[in-house]
């Protein structure tokens, strides 16, 4: 189960049924959950934990020191949830302040050479496609899809069930359910209708989200007015995630590209 060329510190905690491939390095204070599998040349640096049944492919480096010129050696962590897939060459850096963490939620899929900088927080079932780059303190909601070669500025928040088109750059916050135009800067182009269907949102819930999106992006209202109007219109339901997200926004919202029309094939 552990290849003879792997270097495992005695202070690492290895769960049952773990497979560790050739030339892996597992440092002290690392915890590997039951049923995990490490491919060749994987490095798990100090203060990294893997939940059960994760698969880490060749050359990934998890828990290295943050690329932050202000970083001073301290105890900070990388915490990776259960059932994650981490492909070739992925890098995930630990928190930059004492007792902070970079957190990857359950069921995330980090494709080849994607990067999560210090203090990034991914929700559950987030997908980063090849070459996606998340800067420090980025927050990503559940089931978001970050396409290939996207770049996300530090401190940006990305709502749940969003989809960033390939090669886009984001330096402002992306509201939930939205799609971003490929190869663009901060350009919301509509709603992630396919993602909402796959997540099991009903046709009525999707209709309410479209209405809330229209108030935010197509009504001409100021953001604060749009948030208030959405709260007046809906007592419950997923449409209320728009004003809740706006309250947490610190960098302002990405604007709509063109009319920002929400398209639904139904």
pTM of the model as a whole: 0.95
Pick the CATH number of 196-248 from 1.20.140, 1.20.1180, 1.20.120, 1.10.287: 1.20.1180
Specify the pLDDT at position 264: 44
78-83 mean pLDDT: 98
Please give the Cα distance from 37 to 57 (Å, whole number). Answer: 8
Q: Which residues fall within 8 angstroms of residue 143, CB to CB, at 6 or more apart? A: 123, 124, 125, 126, 160, 161, 195, 199
Mean pLDDT taken over the chain: 96
143-157 mean pLDDT: 98
- Cα dist. 192→123, 149, 210, 225 in Å? 17, 19, 10, 24
15-40 mean pLDDT: 98
118-147 mean pLDDT: 98
pLDDT band with cut points at 50, 70 and 90 for residue 257: confident
- Give the residue extent of every domain in the chain: 7-137, 196-248
**CATH 3.40.430.10 for domain 7-137:** no
Q: Looking at the predicted structure, is the pLDDT value of residue 260 above 60?
A: no
Q: Looking at the predicted structure, is the pLDDT value of residue 265 above 90?
A: no
Specify the pLDDT at position 258: 67
Specify the pLDDT at position 71: 97
Taking the CA atoms of residue 41, residue 147, residue 178 and residue 223 in that order, the dihedral angle to the nearest 10 degrees is 80
183-188 mean pLDDT: 97
Taking the CA atoms of residue 206, residue 212, residue 214 and residue 215 in that order, the dihedral angle to the nearest 10 degrees is 170
């Amino acid at each position: 189960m552990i290849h003879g060329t792997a270097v495992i510190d005695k202070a690492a905690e290895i769960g049952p049924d773990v497979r560790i491939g050739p030339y892996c390095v597992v440092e002290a204070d690392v915890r590997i959950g039951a049923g995990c599998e490490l491919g060749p040349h994987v490095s798990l640096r100090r203060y990294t934990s893997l939940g059960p049944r994760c698969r880490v492919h060749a050359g990934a480096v998890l828990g290295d020191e943050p690329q932050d010129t202000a970083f001073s050696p301290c105890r900070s962590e990388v915490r990776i949830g259960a059932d994650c897939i981490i492909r070739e060459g992925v890098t995930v850096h630990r928190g930059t302040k004492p007792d902070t963490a970079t957190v990857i939620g359950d069921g995330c899929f980090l494709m080849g050479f994607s990067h999560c900088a210090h203090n990034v927080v991914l929700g559950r079932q987030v997908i980063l496609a090849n070459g996606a780059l998340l800067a420090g303190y980025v927050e990503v909601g559940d089931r978001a899809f970050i396409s290939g070669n996207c770049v996300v500025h530090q401190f940006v928040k990305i709502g749940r069930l969003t989809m960033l088109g390939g090669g886009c750059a984001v330096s402002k916050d992306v509201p939930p359910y939205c799609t971003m135009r490929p190869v663009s800067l901060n350009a919301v182009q509509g709603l992630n209708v396919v993602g909402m269907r796959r997540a099991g949102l009903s046709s009525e819930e999707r209709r309410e989200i479209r209405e809330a999106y229209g108030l935010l992006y197509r009504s001409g209202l100021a953001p604060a007015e749009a948030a208030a109007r959405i709260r007046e219109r809906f007592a419950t339901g997923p449409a209320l995630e728009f004003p809740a997200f706006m309250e947490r926004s610190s960098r302002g919202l990405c604007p709509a590209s063109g009319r920002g029309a929400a398209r639904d094939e139904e």
